[in-house]
Chains A and B, each alone.
Chain A
Amino acid sequence: MSTNNEWPLWEVFLRTKKGLNHKHVGSIHAADEEMAIENARDVYTRRNEGISIWVVESSHIHASSPSEQESLFDAANDKVYRHPTFYNIPDEVGHI
């Protein structure tokens, strides 16, 4: 059996209810975007898990590499002054 008929892979994002953002839930194979939405509906929303679906062809996703993790994210570690708890507010002022 040939394998060249394999349909492309799509990443599936669901909005579980209004007011929340779409969240990645998994992936699905489909020949085109219409079928990807239909398949995502059958596979990922059998129990009211979503009210809106996004599908993105997996090959269109660009990701950072785990080897860049330090250079990308560690720089934030020594910037404690970006957090509100870094600043002293006298108790008598109350909540700011």
Chain B
Amino acid sequence: MGEISLEEKFQNTIDKESKIEPKDWMPDGYRKNLIRQISQHAHSEIIGMLPEGNWITRAPSLMRKVSLLAKVQDEAGHGLYLYSAMETLGLSRDESLEQLITGKAKYSSIFNYPTISWADIGAIGWLVDGAAIVNQVALQRTSYGPYARAMVKICKEESFHQRQGFEIMTNLAKGTKEQKEMAQNALNRFWWPSLMMFGPSDKDSTHSDQSLKWKIKRMTNDELRQEFVNKTIPQVEFLGLTVPDPDLKLNKKTGQYEFGAINWEEFYNVIKGRGPCNKERIAARTKAQKEGEWVKAAAKAYSAKKINRRNTKAA
């Protein structure tokens, strides 16, 4: 009887729906693929704070302000859960953040769009967090233990984000004519970028097959996108708004909404750094990292001094 290879043993564990944990043997490709995906996910949470942070000081009521503040704080927390999961794979937090500002690591293209009206905060909570939930619910079953556990925690908290967004949209859509127009305008601008959040179409997705075999991903980009559209269109109808897609229709046979062609040129442009806010987002991160560096150094020096003092006393 032949010994089974490490690689076969690894794949068997995954096929049995058991999890891979940090100290287990894993192929280099699995590790690399996960570091890429988890860090991209973490960076998206952190960059995602910027477009929403833009409205904290201008929220229309104190209640909306505390909700938005709590949501943005959650996004920071989600970023931290994910960075911790990523660090178990051997990339340090600082290296990862460095890759974000040099552009080596990516983040979700949706956060390169500006938030020009209050309705955009509603649209982001409803659509962007809604799309993220579809993606993240599937990822709760991802094969890497620390990533799956981070997803479970994140999914528990996301529901509040989407509901606060939908409530903002409902109030605007049922409000004055101007408010309804503002809601429709936000939907017009965020609809297609939200569909792009699921990534390239399956036929063009470079990482998909291997990721599915390793169960890093549990559903394909197109499957997730379809699920999101099916879930969201009835909500759009409830609001009395329309999506900017003349080709959208319900296929009565399949029960699925069929939608028009996505403008992939726009998607790739934004990914490559030519979206409306790419420069602004990276500039904000670079500034935060640069200006925060002395705080990190000071806290570390203070800690060293405390330990030193404790040791001297003990001696």
Where the two chains meet, the residues of A that have a C-beta atom closer than 8 Å to any C-beta of B are 1-3, 5-7, 9, 26-29, 31-32, 35, 42-43, 46-47, 63, 65-66
Contacts and interface: CB of A to CB of B under 8 A. Distances in A.
Given A3-B92, A3-B98, A6-B94, A31 B289 contact: no
B296 interface: yes
B23 A6 contact: no
B300 to A, nearest CB: 5
A48 to B, nearest CB: 12
Nearest to B302: A31
A6 B293 contact: no
A6 B84 contact: no
Interface size class of chain B, counting residues whose CB lies under 8 Å from the partner chain: 20 to 34
A82 B297 CA distance: 55
Contacts of A1: 98, 289-290, 293
A32 to B, nearest CB: 4
B77 to A, nearest CB: 5
A31 B84 contact: no
B80 interface: yes
A15 B39 CA distance: 29
Contact of A46 (B21, B77, B93, B297): B77
Contact of B93 (A2, A29, A63): A29
Contacts of B302: 31-32
B191 interface: no
A35 B98 CA distance: 23
A29 B303 CA distance: 13
B74 interface: yes
B257 interface: no
Contacts of A27: 84, 87
Nearest to A33: B303
B296 A5 contact: yes
Interface of B: 21, 23-25, 70, 73-74, 77, 80-81, 84, 87, 92-95, 98, 149-150, 153, 157, 289-290, 293, 296-297, 299-300, 302-303, 306
Contact of A65 (B23, B87, B149): B23
**3 closest A-B pairs (Cβ-Cβ)?**
A31-B299, A3-B94, A5-B296
Given A5-B293, A27-B84, A32-B303, 20 more contacts: A3-B92, A3-B98, A5-B94, A6-B93, A7-B296, A7-B299, A28-B84, A29-B93, A31-B296, A31-B299, A31-B302, A32-B299, A32-B306, A46-B157, A63-B23, A65-B23, A66-B21, A66-B23, A66-B24, A66-B25
Contacts of B98: 1, 3
A28 B82 CA distance: 11
Contacts of B21: 66
Contact of A5 (B25, B73, B84, B297): B297
B174 to A, nearest CB: 30
B92 A6 contact: yes
B293 A43 contact: no
Nearest to B80: A43
Nearest to B74: A46
B1 to A, nearest CB: 17
Nearest to A24: B149
A63 B21 CA distance: 13
Nearest to B150: A26
Contacts of B290: 1
Contacts of A35: 299
Nearest to B23: A66
B80 to A, nearest CB: 5
A10 to B, nearest CB: 10
Contacts of B94: 3, 5-6
A37 to B, nearest CB: 14
